[in-house]
Amino acid sequence: MKFLILEDDESMVKLYTHWLNKANIKTDTCSSGIEAISNHFKDKNHNFDLIIADLHLEDEKSGDQVINLLNNLEMSSNKKTPVLFLSANINKDLRIQFKKDKHIKFMEKKNIGYSNFLQRIESLTSQKK
């Protein structure tokens, strides 16, 4: 499996990468929405099994905007890449916006731990099978 980590906090990137590598999952990383769009989502044929995205990136494209773009790219195919949104602050409106998408889950960074992180990922990747 291969996951994309979209996160602008380098310490969180290191933590997620460590945990995922420990679980034998390959990772690719990008620190901005612009980088994700230009390097990974030029078309719907990207090769990620899951995307871990920070909601609040410090550039022109937030995590949810990047995922909306990805959803639009994938609309013409049967592909739905699972997404785990991580943030220190997840607002109610955003949860409602993505509630209908079963392939999207949320997790607050303050509650993150190795076990619950992997459990959330497992719940998303098992839906894909």
DSSP string over 70-118 = HHHHHTTSS----EEEEES---HHHHHHHTT-TTEEEEEGGG--HHHHH
pTM listed for this prediction: 0.81
**Ranges of each domain in the chain:** 2-128
Q: State the burial class of residue 54 (Cβ atoms within 10 Å of its Cβ: 0-12, 13-18, 19+).
A: buried
Q: What percent of the chain has pLDDT over 90?
A: 26
Q: Tell me what the mean pLDDT of segment 61-66 comes to.
A: 67
* Assigned CATH for 2-128: 3.40.50.2300
Of 16-25, 55-64, 112-121, minimum mean pLDDT range: 55-64
